[in-house]
Structure formats: C-alpha cells, structure tokens
Structure 1
Amino acid sequence: MDTERHSPAPHFPPRHTIAIVSRGDAAARRDTTAQNSRFVRVFEALAAAGIDAQPAVYDESFADTVRDQLLGVDGVLVWVDPIHQGKTRAALDPLLREVAARGPWVSAHPDVILKMGVKDVLYRTRHLGWGTDTHRYDSAADFRAKFPPRLRAGGPRVLKQNRGNGGQGVWKVEALPDTEAMVRVLHAQRGSFPEDIPLETLMARCERYFGWGGCIIDQAFQPRLPEGMIRCYMSGSKVAGFGQQLIKALVPPPPEGPEAPEAQPGPRIMHGPDALPFRALRRKMEDEWTPQMMTTLGIDPASLPVIWDADFLYGPRDAGGADSYVLCEINASSCFAIPDEAPAAIARTVGTRLQKVR
C-alpha cells in the first residue's frame, strides 16, 4: 500500500496578515510595496516573525477601497499624522473604529489616541513624576478669563492645541514689560519668527483650536529646552529605544534668520533601549510612569500602541545634580522615524497581540 499517497497532508496554521496604513495619493496606493515603503524595516521584521504584511495607502478619496482591504486582514497598524497638508483624521478615525468593531485588531485605536496621543494627556497626568505646572482651557471664554493673569503672574508659557504635529498650534508666549496689552509669541513651526502682538490677537488666533481639538493646554516653558529633547520609544509597555536631538522649536532664530544653518535642528541620534545615559529614564517609564498613565487614563496593556513615543525636555536638576524629565508630548498616531531596534520590538508586540486575538 502506498502510505505516502494516502497520508493526510500536514496542517500548518494560517499566517497572520497585517495591513500598514499610511497617507498617500492614488499613485502611492498603486505603486507602494513592502520593499519600497518607508516602513520596509517593519515589513521585514514582521515577515521574520511569520506575519504577512501589506501596505494600505489611505486617502479620503478612496476610503471605501481601504476599508474593504482592512476588513480582510487580522490586524491593522496605522501611521497617519493628525494634520497633514491641511487634511485631518476626521474621516479616517471613524473608519478605523468600524473596522475594529468588525473584527480586525487596530493599533493605535483612535479611542486610545484620544486618551494618550493628544496634548490633554499633559494635563491629565500632571501629577505623575513627568508632570509640571500645567493647565487646560475648555472654551474660548475660559481661555480669555484665566490665561492673561496666569501669564502675568509667572514666566513664559507654552500653549498647545490638543491635536497636532510638527509644531502646528504650539506657541511660546511671554509677557512684555510695562504693558498688559502686548505679548511676544513664537510659533513652534519651522521658519517662525518671534512676534510682538496684542494679546487679543493671540487669543483670536487660538480660538479655532477649540473647534478641532476641544481644548488648549498651557504649560510652563522649560528653560533647559536648548539642551535638547529625549524621545523615549515604546512598544506596548516596554522601551524600544531612544532618540536624542537638539531642537530649535520655540528657540528664537539667530540674526541670520530661521533658514540659516544655525537655526536648523540637530540630527536625531538614535540609541537602543539599553543605552546607559537613559537607564534611569527607562526604569521610570517601564516601572512607574507608563503603569501610572494607564491607570489614570483607563488604558489596558493590550490597548497600548505597538509603537509610541514620549517626548521629554530636561527639567530642574535635583539636589544631587541628577536630571529630571518633563513630558512635553506623546506621539501615538504616527511615530516615525524609529530606532534600529524598534521594528523587531514591533513585530514581537504584534505577534503577542495577534495570538490573543486568534
């Protein structure tokens, strides 16, 4: 008897499938592949972990096609900025909620982003070790009533719209001597100059932020900002690496102007999760601040984004000369570029999440 012909074929469990969503036009949707995508390292790490991944370029003009694609996979990873060339996520987020409700796992889920990937997280977690003097204005009337006396009572403040990226809607505001009517402002977007304008002009300029983001966050300006920013990359609840950069946002440009070489940010220097200079920060993030944030915001471990980052400025040194860290932003919508170690961390987290889904 030919046992080989009659033996049942070996059974292999089906491979998980993932779609990686990013913004682009119709040509990008047609031409983008795993090999030419800017996420090529993530595609490679997922493939090495036995996960099939496909690009899913999104635009509002072909949203139905993207929806159909996402409903055919096991999981969805999303890299789409809150604001990009005038477009927002107003249509994308409901689409992702619908997809998640119909089965596929979505990271970061829009509801999680609304908890941690907005500037309001700075206010809601101000009591944690990463917090500082922070306030929230929930309406234009609230802003007009409370911000002027707060500005006059202390040093410079930083106003932030609730949802944004690339410095959009972030302003350093300083009171000017001998006047309550005028202020000095500097927008965080690249190419901005300091302006001396009426306080009323600033308030009118910021009113539109209540319509898009629902609130404005007000933090004390950190005087050590010129020393640089530390970006702590997280995959789930574990540190995946660090980025260190001398930033120029909210730093007045040199006399040569905002386009001069001296006005440009320094290179972002990437480090792995075990980098010695950030050992204390890693311990704080993994053992204290991330669990405390999850409790405060009501986020369970399985809902943390597969990749997100917490941006820190240096705060005051303690009595022993050690640095403290002040949270200035969390990015959960589109965290990229990432350290070399991060794609493997993403793949591990995705694999764990998908096993639980299955």
Structure 2
Amino acid sequence: MQAVGSRAGSPHPEAPGLQVLLLKTGPRPSRSTTLPTPTLALLYPGDRAMRERGDPSESRFAALFDAFAVAGLRAVPAVYHDDFADEVEAQLGGVAVVLVWCNPIEGGRRRDRLDAMLRRLAGQGVVVSAHPDAILKLGTKDVLFDTRDLPFGSDVHRVDSLAQLQAELPGRLRRGARVFKQHRGQSGAGVWRVEAGDASAPQLLRVRHAQRGSEEERLDFAALAHRLAPYFDAANGGHMIDQAWQPRLVDGMVRAYLVEDRVAGFGVQAVNALFPAAPGQPAPPPGPRLYHGPELAAFQGLRRLLETGWIEMLRARVELPRDRLPLLWDCDFLFGEPAADGTECFVLCEINASSVAPFPPSAMVPLVAAAASRVPEG
C-alpha cells in the first residue's frame, strides 16, 4: 500500500488547528513566562535526572505542551519511575487532569505500582487518562475475544493452559495459521504466528515471533510450549488469545487514532512485524507508519463505521461508560475479505490505550480540547 504523510517518529509539525489558534492568540508564551498554577500533567517514564530538569522540550511531547499553553492551560511534566513514585503521586494530587504515557512493560517492569497510584488519584477526583480500568477493558488482547462476534471481530479463542493449547491447536491449524498473543504487551513482544508444518516434517510447526528481528523457526509442540509457557503465569495474565491469521496482512495495516469517540487521524503501515518473507529471503523489517488526518479519503468508510456504530458497540460490550473512554487511544485494523459488493472489510488486531505516541499532528487540537473540557471551571 502506498501512502503519503508524516513518518512515524518525526517531530510533530504544527496541526492546522493549532496554527489557527496561534494566529488568534499571538505567539506562544515562552517557558519562562509566568503561567497559572498547573492544571494538567503529562506523565511519562524517565529517570531522576529527567525529573529534576522537568524540561518539556526534551520530551517527545514538546509540541503538546506548547499546544496547551496556547489554549491558556499550564501543563507540566510528571516524569515517572517506580523508584520515586511517592513523589510523583504528591505532585499529581495538585492537578485536575493527568494524561499518561507508560507501556504495560516499561524498562523490564510491569506498571502495577503506577496503576495503583493512578487509581488512588482518580478516587481523589483527578481525571486520569487512560484510567487503568479502561485500559484493562480496551487495551489488552482480551478485547479481541470479547468482541469476536461484532462486525470488526474475527475467529478468536481464549487459551487458558498449555494442555488446552495442545488439545485444540491441531484442529485449528488444519484451517490455517494462527496468531497467539499474550494478555498485555507492546512492540510485538509475546505475539507468535504458528503454522502447520509441511509434508516433509509435519511434526515441526512453523513459528515466528513478532518482535523486531525475529526469524521463522521450525519447532515441535514441546519446544513451542516451552516458548509460550511464561505467558500462562498468573503474573502475565494467565492465558493467551488465539486469533486466526489474516492473509491480507500483506496489504498493510491501518491505525485509527481516536480522541474519545471521534477519529482524529490515521496511521498507515505497509510492512508490519509479521509480514511474510519472500521464498529464500529473510523477513523484511517493519516499515514506517505514515500519518494522515481524519479526512484521508481511503478510510472514510472506516471512519464512518467507527463514529456511527463500532465505538458504541465496543463500549457496550466491555461495559465502559463514554466518559471513561481514553482521551487518546487507537485501534489497529487489518484488511478482511471484501464483502460481495466489494466493500472493504476491517478486522480488529489490537487496541492501544497505555502509551499512544507518536500520534498524528491532526490529533493535537482535539486532544487539547478534550483535556480542557475535563478541567473544572474556576
């Protein structure tokens, strides 16, 4: 798939809406200007030195800090690490809204302590986005199982033990390849494609981890079980999600970026982590994600589906009130088999709610507006 747009990882150019704000309000205030008491905090991981510097310009959210300043809201960094969690909690007790960017596993640590802190703050009246409970409903692979019968769902099963895996895998592999996904993770960690072996060695499964740099291996079931065993530990969720392989992965993946219940932009990636290798060649590395605004013509059908039904279906299925939707989240879709009339179909691959960054510049203004709407007046 060919796409034109901003490359993932590049600095955010100012969104058009932000440029309009700048024209109306004048130049953005310098960071030395006296500003009101902080009303918002942006929490992201870092070390003690980063926290002591407290410099928004050295973070990947520099443009977002500026956008809040343009809107008349003071946002401050809340650099987080478990080692000084109490200090961060004391800081956040004095703000109205905290926007959180922290992966499920950050620097080898799970975010259990952070989530407990965020729940306490929310209980004290601080608006937390994304709230840990919302992440558990939307941002784990369980959402694929919970929504398997909805229009964007697919052939998905929950596997609760290695014994269940051994009993059920052969029958499913006869229908095609499967993708096993750990309960929570990021960047392809804990996502495995499994395919039946060929006629010359049927006992050896073709297995590939989605983590960057992984190559296909030939493993018997015992070796596969050894690889997957850690994901069945209670600390790692105690189960895996088994989703049918989508053959049209070769056509690319589209990520819909959402601010609450509205599409704020798209990310298009032609080559992703499990893109198949050409015969005799290593698998190609994942390519860049190209950013577009919500008006991207190729995906107006997907936008309409999300805004006029799918998000509501999703909320209802996972029992998440609208006001608990993350202020910024995203849904990854693969292409399914087109309908009989040629209409494009989309299959949900995962939802990200823990640490959505980078994101399209077009999401900046709606995100600022959504956060500002949560700040109490006066």
Comparing 157-166 and 343-352, the one that deviates more:
343-352
Long gaps (5+) in structure 2: 1-35
TM-score, scaled relative to structure 2: 0.85
The AA in structure 1 aligned to 2:191 is V
Amino acid at match of 2:212: R
SS in 2 for 1:343: helix
For the 8 Å contact 1:158–1:173, the answer to whether it is kept is yes
CA distance in 1, matches of 2:373, 2:107: 35
Larger Rg: 1
Q: Residue type matched to 1:272 in 2?
A: G
Does residue 114 of structure 1 match 2:136?
yes
Q: How does the TM-score come out when normalised to structure 1? A: 0.90
1:146, CA displacement in angstroms? 2.3
Q: Does 1:333 align with 2:354?
A: yes
Residue range with higher mean Cα deviation, 137-146 or 232-241: 137-146
Are positions 1:90 and 2:112 aligned together?
Answer: yes
- 2:348 and 2:141 map into 1 onto residues whose CA distance is 10
Inter-partner Cα distance in structure 1 for 2:38 and 2:105: 31
- What CA deviation, in whole Å up to 9, does each residue of 1:74-112 have, x standing for no partner? 111100011233122122111111111122110000011
Q: Which of the residues 326, 337, 355 maps onto 1:305?
A: 326
2:260 to 227, 236, 241: 236
**Equivalence for 2:270:** 246
Which range is displaced more, 165-174 or 344-353? 344-353
Alignment of 1:257-276 (within 5 A): 257=282, 263-276=284-297
Q: Determine the C-alpha separation between the residues in 2 that align with 1:219 and 1:200.
A: 21
The answer on 1:324 being equivalent to 2:348 is no
CA positional deviation for 1:180 = 5.5
> Residue 249 of structure 2 is aligned with which of 221, 225, 233?
225
Matching residue of 2:19: none
Matched, 1:162 2:195: no
Contact 2:250 2:276 in 1 (8 A): no
Equivalent in 70, 74, 82 of residue 48 of structure 1: 70
One-letter amino acid of the counterpart of residue 345, structure 1: P
The amino acid that maps onto 1:47 is: A
- Which whole-Å CA distance do the structure 2 matches of 1:24 and 1:319 have between them? 51
What's the offset of the Cα at 1:15? Answer: 6.5
Query: Equivalents in 2 of 1:194, 1:251: separation in Å?
Result: 11
Paired position in structure 2 for 1:26 = 48
Q: Give, as a single letter, the amino acid of the residue that structure 1 aligns with 2:337.
A: P
Distance of 2:285 and 2:215 partners within structure 1: 13
Specify the SS of the correspondent of 1:132.
Answer: coil
**Pair 1:354 & 2:375 matched:** yes
1:64-79 aligned within 5 A: 64-79=86-101
Does the 8 Å CA contact 2:96/2:376 hold for their aligned counterparts?
Answer: no
Q: C-alpha deviations, 1:179-238, integer Å up to 9, x for none?
A: 553211010011001000111211222121122123211111011111111000000001
Code of the aligned partner of 1:288? G
Give unpaired runs (5+ residues) of structure 1.
1-13
Q: Which residue of the partner structure matches residue 171 of structure 1?
A: 192
Question: Which of 181, 184, 199 pairs up with 2:203?
Answer: 181
How many pairs were matched up? 339
1:209 to 231, 238, 247: 231
Deviating beyond 6 angstroms after TM superposition, the runs of 4 or more aligned structure 1 residues are none
Compared CA separation, residues 143 and 355, structure 1 to 2 (3 A): farther
Q: How far did 1:256 drift?
A: 5.9
**Matched residue of 1:136: which SS?**
strand
Kindly provide the CA deviation profile for residues 251-289 of structure 1, in whole angstroms up to 9, marking residues without a partner as x.
24465645xxxx232322111111111110000011111
- Deviation of 1:321 (Å): 2.1
Contact 1:15 1:50 in 2 (8 A): no
Evaluate the alpha carbon distance shift between residue 253 and residue 27 of structure 1 in structure 2; reply closer, same or farther with a 3 A threshold: farther
